[in-house]
Structure 1
Amino acid sequence: MKIYCCEEHVELAIDMIVDELETFPQLTQMEDEQKLSTACEYCRNTAIYVVANK
């Protein structure tokens, strides 16, 4: 499971993975070239982080 999110929604994304998978996710900052074409899954602003279970 991967969630792309902006700075504002990173806590929500972490909570979603913890609630669904009962494990603490990895938080990775996206590369600059990835940020240009990836939107936050909650608000459609530019995504900055990938919150994933692996």
Structure 2
Amino acid sequence: MKIHTCETHINRALDEFVAKEETFPSMEPITEGEKLSTTCDYCEALPVYLVTNT
């Protein structure tokens, strides 16, 4: 599971990840290349973090 999230929605992304995966995620900063082609999964803002288990 991967969630791209902005600063505003980081808590929602972490809560959703733990509820679905039942494990703690890693939170990685988004690279400049990903910022150009991706938006937050909850709004249209540019993402700041990738919440993932990989």
Q: Could you state the TM-score of these two structures normalised by the residue count of structure 1? A: 0.91
Q: Give unmatched runs, 5+ long, in structure 2.
A: none
1:1-54 C-alpha deviation (Å, 9 max, x unpaired)? 000010111111011010111100000001112112110010111111100122
- The DSSP-based 3-state class of the residue aligned with 1:47 is coil
- Residue in structure 2 matched with residue 5 of structure 1 by the alignment: 5
Runs of 4+ with >3 A deviation: none
Q: 2:24 matched to which residue of 1? A: 24
| Identity value in percent | 43
Cα RMSD for the two superposed structures: 0.8
Flag structure 1 segments of 5+ consecutive residues without an equivalent.
none
Distance 2:36 2:17 in 1: 24
* Alignment TM-score, normalising by the size of structure 2: 0.91
